[in-house]
Structure 1
Amino acid sequence: MTTLSKPLLKLGLLTAVSLGLIACEQQSNQVSTASSVPVSSAGDSAISSLAANAACEGVAPEGDLIPERIVAANSTRTEPGLYEGPVWINDSLYFSDFVFSEGFPSRIQKLDASGQMATVLADSGSNGLAVDNDGLLVAGTHKYKSVSRYNVATGERTSVAQTFAGNVFNSPNDIAITADGVIYFTDPAFQRDAAPGGQEKTGVYRVATDGTVTLVDDTISNPNGVTLSPDESVLYVNGGGEQGVLRAYEIVDGVPQAGKDLVTGIHIPDGMAVDCLGNIYLTEHLSRQLRVFTPQGEQIAQAKVDANLTNVAFGGAEGTTLFLTGAGSLWKIELGITGSAY
């Protein structure tokens, strides 16, 4: 994002179209839904004005969106598993591909602009992916119970965050990175059995640029998706299982404040992305559903797919293609707006 954590323009890796992340007013057309329960009031400081001072050229989606399955990306594995952590870099979509057998073996796959699939790293042990300021992949790695950094060209892995309070993490999952390199990640217990050890609670963490790890929140059961508003003034985290929440944390002087539940009644929330207007694209895993919320927590759009859904990211030649990952499947939705590349 322009000073954003997950921008299409970030690092100069993405197409020039992502310049649309730089400015525009929040669209006024909002459609509420009975299944959406916004909690914050419109007067809530930064949470109610995420797009007020930024701007982009684009139109927010509304109503029913129609995903298109990318057949070339259908899994060829014989055992069940999930695609996760999509991130768009240059002209390709990278994502984790793991199975449910012992240790949750995982690899990183790439779908290029021509529709060709290739395995980039055969044994990454990864879930959520992001890209840092050096163009390296940052991954939540359940295999190592840490946040890792990968050089895709060489396969070299280095550790970004290994422990907190003397213990390894449970199974680092989703990731968001600020423009100045601060990393936020969720640590649920979904793949905790991949390796020995873990934390007493599931949590959300912040990794400073000097590597210092601090706890943001340990009150959400199995926190999952994490993302940042376009101006990096608000951190979003979801989790909580069948009665899940979308929680917003105002960031003051680089430090997340106490969280406020923006939306409740979410059924098993999973990964998220934001568009350049600040709208939040949230997946519901077992409901096989994508829901789009304004920064105020009002639902404006939705989409259904035919397999369990895990995560979303913007990409494509124009930066306006929304990619969705799920159970051995990829989908895409063509939109009229750009958004976060992971």
Structure 2
Amino acid sequence: MTHPMQEAAAGIEVFDPRLAPIVAGARLEKLCTGARWSEGPVWMHEDGAVLWSDIPNDRMLRWSEADGMSVWRTGVEFTNGHTRDLGGDLLHCSHGQRAIVRTRVSAGGVRAGTPDEIVVDRYLGKRLNSPNDIVVKRDGTIWFTDPPYGIASNHEGHKAEREQPANFVFRFDPSSGVLDAMTDAAQEPNGLAFSPDESLLYVSDTSAAMRSDGSGHHRLMVFEVRGGALANARVFAEVAPGLPDGFRLDAQGWIYTSSLDSVQVYHPDGSLLGKIRVPEKVGNLTFGGAQRDQLYIAASSSLYRITLRTEGIQRP
């Protein structure tokens, strides 16, 4: 069995006493390194592993306690975010294919050579921009963001002209095959996640990343979910330093978001509860482990882990 590389040189800042029992005794571990830009971690409970993207290197990596780090796949068309659908299959946001892609997963995990399937790649007959992050609702619908980062250059995709008139948050219904544009309220939507009861949808707007004129944002937005629509968009939090790229929620509705120097923890009332300092720029994160209490953090070249006294929302 392999062990974490080292205990990372980072601390935990508690700004609100409500956070203290959640992080009591917690320490950040650096599990492995060697990527160019780490993104989109997803927990694979079948074999106790984390998969994540190394986007510029056009590959996916894997880490487990038993095997350590390995290259899981290469030539993956610049996948970014990942999640599991209700049947346990793996869904990818593909910059290169400008599509949502599915990998079938059996009880024993993903079989070698399993072909991928394009789930959706067009809206109203036009190609998507470059799907970025993805979640699945309890009703089976697939929600994803579609900013232009993967077509802006050849660094994380294939440079191309956009065909969509805006940067939408989309909802795809696998049962009907219908793709709906839900909102373009975020200038450049990036991460997204539902509250535990799915009455709220949080979306990050990272438009400051590509706009040097000061018109961009680095914030979390929140929407009310009303049946098949989103309503009452508002700014939930301005996240600094850096950008709120990917994020996830725990079972009590707390938001754990990436930023330049840490994982920032927010209460649903908007309070910044504290920061889990990380010595690299945080790109995305996910909860995993048998108890769903391990937060896996994809940051720059490395993968980190911290065990918290909470339970993440993990589907399936």
Aligned partner of 1:107 among 54, 59, 79: 59
TM (normalized to structure 1)?
Answer: 0.74
Aligned partner of 2:139 among 175, 180, 202: 180
Shift of 1:288: 2.4
**Equivalent position of 1:14 in the other structure:** none
Q: Determine which structure has greater relative contact order: mean sequence separation of CA pairs < 8 Å that are 6+ residues apart, divided by chain length.
A: 1
Does residue 235 of structure 1 match 2:210?
no
- For the structure 1 residues 208 and 258, does the alpha-carbon distance in structure 2 shift closer, same or farther, using more than 3 Å as the test? farther
Does residue 147 of structure 1 match 2:100?
yes
Corresponding letter in the other structure for 1:150: T
SS of match in other structure, 1:224: strand
| Count, aligned residues | 276
- For the structure 1 residues 299 and 63, does the alpha-carbon distance in structure 2 shift closer, same or farther, using more than 3 Å as the test? farther
Ranges in structure 1 where 5+ consecutive residues have no aligned partner: 1-28, 33-57, 100-104
* 1:165-221 C-alpha deviation (Å, 9 max, x unpaired): 322112111101012211111111221142334323222111123221111222322
In 1, the alpha carbon distance for the partners of 2:117 and 2:20 equals 40
Does residue 31 of structure 1 match 2:16?
yes
Matches within 5 A, 1:249-264: 249-264=223-238
Ranges in structure 2 where 5+ consecutive residues have no aligned partner: 1-13, 105-109, 209-216
Would the aligned equivalents of 1:288 and 1:308 in 2 still touch at CA under 8 Å?
A: yes
**Equivalent position of 1:202 in the other structure:** 167
Aligned partner of 1:289 among 242, 262, 265: 262
- For the structure 1 residues 115 and 239, does the alpha-carbon distance in structure 2 shift closer, same or farther, using more than 3 Å as the test? farther
* 1:4-23 C-alpha deviation (Å, 9 max, x unpaired): xxxxxxxxxxxxxxxxxxxx
**Equivalent position of 2:292 in the other structure:** 319
Does residue 213 of structure 1 match 2:179?
yes
**Equivalent position of 1:190 in the other structure:** 149
Does residue 94 of structure 1 match 2:41?
no
Would the aligned equivalents of 1:61 and 1:301 in 2 still touch at CA under 8 Å?
A: no
TM (normalized to structure 2)?
Answer: 0.80
Would the aligned equivalents of 1:60 and 1:277 in 2 still touch at CA under 8 Å?
A: no
Corresponding letter in the other structure for 2:222: A
Q: Percent identity?
A: 27
* 1:85-140 C-alpha deviation (Å, 9 max, x unpaired): 111121111111221xxxxx522221123252233322222100001122211010
In 1, the alpha carbon distance for the partners of 2:145 and 2:172 equals 11
In 2, the alpha carbon distance for the partners of 1:68 and 1:120 equals 22
Aligned partner of 1:130 among 75, 78, 83: 83
Corresponding letter in the other structure for 2:255: I
In 1, the alpha carbon distance for the partners of 2:100 and 2:21 equals 33
